[in-house]
Structure 1
C-alpha cells in the first residue's frame, strides 16, 4: 500500500464470475467481497496478497478499491462476504454487518472464531500437538516441559496440553501465577526440574515487561526458551514457530470461495495455518551447549 489511512482500512474486492462458473439463473450481477484490514504491516499485506492470488487462480478477477472508513450500509448492499483481517476488523465487521458471512485472518486463537454465526477463518496459534512435534524435532532430548501461565486466561489450554504431552511421552511441569510479581518464584521452581521452557501466549506471563526476566532465567539456567515469534528468537529464545502469511491469505481465499459457492460459513470450522516456519538462535544454542541438527539449521526461516 502506498498511503497510510486511519486505524481501519477498507478494501473492496469486486469479483466477476463468468457465466461458465454459474448456473444461468445465478449469472446476473457481480459478487462482492469486502476486505477490512485492522492495520498496515508486512504480514497483513502478505495475507491480503495471498487472498487475492487464491481468488485469481479460481478465475475470479479482482478489483480493489480503498476507502478510509468502515463498511456503510451503502457499501454492503451487494456484498456477499466480508474478509476481516485482524481482530479489530473482525469486531467491526460483526457489529456493523451481523448478517453477512465473514472469513477472518490474523486472529490469534481458535476460540476467537468459534461460536459466532456466519464466521469462519484461519487463526494464528499453532495447535499444541504441532508445537510439541517441533519441540521434539529441535530438542529431541527434552522430556520435562516447563510452562508458566495465568490460570484465568490459560487453565483450559494447559489442561488440554497436558493430555497431549502425556500421549507424546513428555512431562508437563506447570507453574500457575496470578500476576507478574509471582513470575520470578515460579521460574525458580522450574530451575532444577524443566528441560525446556515453553512460551504460551499469555497476557500476564509473556509481555514486553517480563521478557528480559524470562530470557535471563533461560540463559542463567541453560534452559532453552521457546518463544512466540521471531522477535523473541532475536531477543534470545532458542527458537519460535511462525507462519507463512501469504499462505494464510490463500487459505482464507479458499474458505471464501467455498462460501461464495453456497457453503454456509458457520458450517466451516476455523483452521490453523497449514504451513509452519521457524526462526532459530544459534548463539543461544551455543551458549547452552545444545546440539542442533544440521537439518534444523538448514530449514530455519531466520537464523540469529
Structure 2
C-alpha cells in the first residue's frame, strides 16, 4: 500500500475506533441516532421497581417466532427483564385467533414488538401504551408512530459498514446498491452522503418489483467495484433471490458486501451485521427505563443497534485476487478460510 494510502487508512482506523467507542452518538442528527447502552449497562439493569407489590406486565408480540433472528431477540429480552411477560406469536395462522384474544385480554404496562407485523398490530390495538419495537426494515416507513413509541432500528448507522469496507478493502471505491423507493430510499440517500466523506462512490439502481432486479443487478455490476447487498424485501422477496444474486456476482468476479452473518457461507466477501442478541437486551434496557418512570429524551426514541459482528470470507477474497489490509483483520470477529 502506498504511503499516502496507508496514512489515510490510519486516519480512517482512528475515526472508526472513535465512532464505535461512543463518539458516534454525539455528532449526528437526532432522527438517526440515540445514546447506546453497553452490554454491561443492559445486563445490570435487571430489576423493575415494583408497583403495588406486583411486577410490571409486558406483552411480547413476535411477528413469527420461527424466524431465527426474531427468536434470538425474544429470548434475550426475556432473560434480561424482571417482569411478567406474556408471549404471543403472530406467525401461526392456525392459532392466530386465540393469540389475539389472549393479547387483548392481557392488561400490559408495555408492549414489545418484534418485526413489522407485530408493530402494526400493536399500533392498532395498544396505541395508548408504551410500545418498544425492533427488527423492522426501515421503521420510518411506518410513521406516524403512537406518541409513546420507542424502538431500535434494524439497520446499523451507514457509517459503520462503510468504515469497515474502506478499512479492509481500501482499493474498492465504487459500491453498487440495489434499493427500492418503498423501503430503503432514505437509507440509500444517507449512505450516499456518508460515503462521500470516505471518498467512496455509491452507484444505485432503484427496483420497483422483483422482475426488474436481475437486469438492474447486471447493469450495476458493469459500473461498480463491489455490490453492497442490503436488506430490502423488494430486492430479495425469497431466499432464492439471494442465491441468484451471489451467483451472478461470482460470474462477474465482483465481491459482495452485506448485512447478514450467514451470507459469508454462501459467497459474500464481507458482512457487517447487527448482533441480534444485543438487540433483545437493548430493547429490554429501553423497556426498563420506561417502566421505572424515567423520562427519555425525544432523540432517544429510535436508537441504532448497540452491537455488531464483522465477518470476512478470506477464501473468496483470495479467489477474486482482492487486495486487503491485513492490519484491519484485528477488527474482524469471524474469518472464513
Work out whether residues 47 and 249 of structure 1, in 8 Å CA contact, stay in contact via their aligned partners in 2.
Answer: yes
**Hey, what does 2:280 align to over in structure 1?**
249
Aligned equivalents of 2:174 and 2:269: distance in 1? 16
Partner of 1:283: 315
Decide whether aligned partners of structure 1 residues 35 and 302 sit closer, same or farther in structure 2, where only a CA change above 3 A counts: farther
Judging changes above 3 Å, is the alpha-carbon distance between structure 1 residues 115 and 301 closer, same or farther for their aligned structure 2 residues? farther
Residue 43 of structure 1 aligns to a residue whose secondary structure is: helix
**Post-superposition CA distance 1:143-172 (Å, at most 9, x none):** 111223334443333223212111221112
Structure with the largest fraction of strand: 1
**Rounded Cα–Cα distance in structure 2 between residues aligned with 1:241 and 1:211:** 17
CA distance in 2 between partners of 1:287 and 1:82 (Å): 48
Q: What is the aligned counterpart of 1:34 among 35, 40, 59?
A: 59
Selected match of 2:194 from 160, 164, 167: 164
* Structure 2 gap ranges (5+): 1-45, 89-97
> How far apart are 1:283 and its partner, in Å?
2.8
Instruction: Kindly provide the CA deviation profile for residues 52-89 of structure 1, in whole angstroms up to 9, marking residues without a partner as x.
Output: 3433xxxx4x455557613444311xx21111222222
2:167 to 132, 137, 140: 137
Give the alignment of 1:226-241 within 5 angstroms.
Answer: 226-241=257-272
2:99 aligned counterpart, secondary structure: coil
Q: Report the CA distance between 1:132 and its aligned residue.
A: 0.8
In structure 2, do the counterparts of structure 1 residues 183 and 103 end up closer, same or farther at CA, with 3 Å as the change threshold?
Answer: closer
Structure 1 residue aligned with 2:27: none
Aligned CA RMSD, in angstroms, stands at: 3.0
Residue 135 of structure 2 aligns with which residue? 106
Q: TM-score, normalised by structure 2?
A: 0.71
Contact 1:110 1:270 in 2 (8 A): no
* Match in the other structure for 1:88: 117
- Shift in alpha-carbon separation, 1:295–1:162, aligned structure 2, 3 A: closer
How big is the shift at 1:105?
2.2
Q: How does 1:1-304 map to 2 (within 5 A)?
A: 21=49, 27=52, 29-41=54-66, 42-55=68-81, 60=82, 62-64=83-85, 69-70=99-100, 71-76=102-107, 79-111=108-140, 115-117=144-146, 118-207=148-237, 208-263=239-294, 267=298, 268-292=300-324, 293=326, 296=329, 299-301=332-334, 303=336
Distance in 2, matches of 1:110 and 1:131, equals 19
Unaligned runs of 5+ in 1: 1-14
Contact 1:120 1:266 in 2 (8 A): no
- Asked if the contact 1:101/1:265 (under 8 Å) is kept, the reply is no
- For residue 280 of structure 1, report the CA deviation from its aligned partner: 2.7
Write 1 or 2 for the structure with the bigger share of helix. 2
**Secondary structure in structure 1 of the residue aligned to 2:311:** strand
**Aligned CA distance change for structure 1 residues 47 and 154 (closer, same or farther; 3 Å):** closer
Deviations 1:12-61 (A, max 9, x none): xxx985xxx47xxx645442222222222443333233223433xxxx4x
CA distance in 2, matches of 1:297, 1:219: 27
2:178 & 2:114 partners in 1: Cα distance? 30
Write the distance in 1 (CA, Å) between the matches of 2:200 and 2:218: 21
SS of equivalent residue, structure 1 residue 107: coil
How far apart are the structure 2 equivalents of 1:119 and 1:102? 5
Q: Residues 295 and 112 of structure 1: is their aligned pair in 2 closer, same or farther, counting only changes over 3 Å?
A: same
